[in-house]
Structure 1
Amino acid sequence: MLEVNNLNVDIGRKKIIKNITFKVKTGAIVGLIGPNGAGKTTIMKTILGLTKFTGQISMDNHPITESNHKILSEVGALIENPAIYPFLTGLQNLKLYSHDKNNMQQIVIQLGLEKYIEDLAKNYSLGMKQKLGIAIALLNQPKLVILDEPMNGLDIEATILVRKLIQQYARSGTSFLISSHILGELQKIMSEAIIINEGKVVVNRAMSRFQRINHQHYQILSENPKIASDLLAKNNIQIKKSGNYLCIDAKDVFLAEDLLYKNNLRLLELLSKKIDFEQVVVSLLKNQERDIYEE
């Protein structure tokens, strides 16, 4: 669906995006993750033809260039703030972009906009504006939807509604590129994650690959951490140290217990832990455990 190859973006003399390459397959929900200033919004704007670049961007094998923006008519987007005219009603805003009245009415119902769609947009709350912006992005059955912080300002009910709607559209073949700092919500829907930092790709993996370290492990505290560490390592048990604690994989816990008992090392604590996705991202951004993801 979307291919980005060796993308570079310079602003003045500063290089913002550095040789970024990735793909978004048909029906995929790809998360674009990184700290503030990493380049997420710049990448999205560049795909939409709003920023000069070097490299190649193509959609359905058609290159996106300054002279060929027609292909972007099949892309819906919400970048930074919803493109809403405040002195028009929500419905009037939708009509500016809609090509299909029935499709427009369906989206109004799907997002629960009926109660205030006839009100002036200037009177909308942040969450109401955000839902209207998402509605605009989903109009006309786009092949690709680009969403920058779509959950911003949404309450719990609206967040769940938007999440389910994204999944529904993806099942019908719409591709999504989504940036969000709410990793817990993004994790629930994305099929792939692209983690970027300082304009470079740190990791580009299917979510299934993250399961390799997003699993249960145990922390062991013995009466002599140094001897215990040497003993476990000698018996081919992979360990990581956290202070006086030794971290081991869940599959090795019974063997570790037996080894400590047989060698008269008293086990003081055995704690079950689980690494969540946010911890994985933070770790990767600090360049820790990156080797786990190498091909």
Structure 2
Amino acid sequence: MKQPILQVQQLNKSFGSKQVLHDISFTAQKGHIIGLVGANGAGKTTLMKAILGLTSAQGIITIDGHPSSFDHHEILKKVGALIEYPSIYPFMTGRDHLKLFAKGANQSQKIQSVIHDMHLTKYIDRAAKKYSLGMKQKLGIAMAILNNPELVILDEPMNGLDPQANKELRLLIKAKSQAGTTFLISSHILSELQKVADELLILDHGRIIQETTMKALLAASNHYLVLSTSDDVLARKVLTNAGYQLTDNTELKVHVGAKANLEPILKVFEQHDITVLDIQHRDENLEDSVLKLLNKDQLEVEGQK
């Protein structure tokens, strides 16, 4: 296997007597998009700050084969980041911000390219104090990707973005990942993260409770049939009597396996003169799957007390 662009080994972090990260270990391969998911206070931002050398932690962090830490982070030149809120100077224009952060050769070309990629042209020469939340967010992301870093760490990048800007950001992240850039993205907007992430790290109480691919998590999630019939009240009764699990009181939603076999259900309906008017297949989304894992972990934590 190729050397990972990021490797985190047994990372621990405490604030006073409170431990907020517990033996965090994972790797990120070149060109992968990794979603970092968890409830508020799970340790996501602290983990990102530790990787970026913004806070001290115990453990080993390696970026492109080189160690990085709070007091030794030369390798972070290869990393771009947006953590919490972008650092915006109100009386500087967006372009001036980019000029301030541009490094290396071809700076003007880099600036113009990121202005185009992030759709900043209309307001890039305005003072940042006139920017909306979404404009500031887009500028912050632009600063993170400006110097074509090999690793980009984004904390809640979709905050303040409208649906069109979200779509544009998704397409840009995917294009850059295909060109070899690795992304570690924390977001509470799981519907957006589902559309872009290849892999997932799910944190709870400072621990990784699951490390998986998006495809594997969704494949293992629950599947349902949502039915509309000529007599939904009777249909609910006969399905329940036949041993089917109905999961909703407002619609006829039947829990089934990944490969739903309709024939037994249709036979039950035929026996009671029930006509099927419509059938929809519905899968759990990322939010459903994550909440189920977090609830399960919470029960286990409480059971250990």
| Cα distance in structure 2, aligned partners of 1:242 and 1:266 | 23
Contact 1:39 1:198 in 2 (8 A): yes
- Which residues of 2 match residues 133-172 of structure 1 at below 5 A? 133-172=140-179
| 1:159 shift after superposition | 1.3
The TM-score normalised by the length of structure 1 is 0.85
RMSD, matched Cα:
2.7
> Equivalent residue for 2:127?
120
> Equivalent residue for 2:52?
48
> Identity, % of aligned pairs?
42
- Which residue among 85, 88, 98 is the counterpart of 2:89? 85
Secondary structure of the 2:111 match is helix
Shifted more, 160-169 versus 242-251: the winner is 242-251
| Cα distance in structure 1, aligned partners of 2:239 and 2:64 | 61
| Cα distance in structure 1, aligned partners of 2:116 and 2:190 | 27
Contact 1:224 1:265 in 2 (8 A): no
Distance verdict in 2 for CA 1:268–1:284, change over 3 Å: farther
| 1:225 shift after superposition | 3.4
| Cα distance in structure 2, aligned partners of 1:179 and 1:162 | 14
- Which residues of 2 match residues 1-295 of structure 1 at below 5 A? 1-99=5-103, 100-214=107-221, 216-218=223-225, 221-223=236-238, 225=240, 228-229=242-243, 242=247, 247-249=255-257, 251-254=259-262, 256-257=264-265, 260=268, 272-287=281-296
Letter in structure 2 aligned against 1:51: T
Letter in structure 1 aligned against 2:139: L
| 1:145 shift after superposition | 0.4
Letter in structure 2 aligned against 1:198: H
Contact 1:223 1:267 in 2 (8 A): no
Structure 2 residue ranges without an equivalent (≥5):
227-234, 300-305
| Cα distance in structure 1, aligned partners of 2:122 and 2:254 | 56
Deviations 1:14-52 (A, max 9, x none): 000111111111001100011111111111101000111
| 1:134 shift after superposition | 0.5
Structure 1 residue ranges without an equivalent (≥5):
230-238, 291-295
Distance verdict in 2 for CA 1:221–1:14, change over 3 Å: same
Distance verdict in 2 for CA 1:126–1:246, change over 3 Å: closer
| Cα distance in structure 2, aligned partners of 1:144 and 1:279 | 29
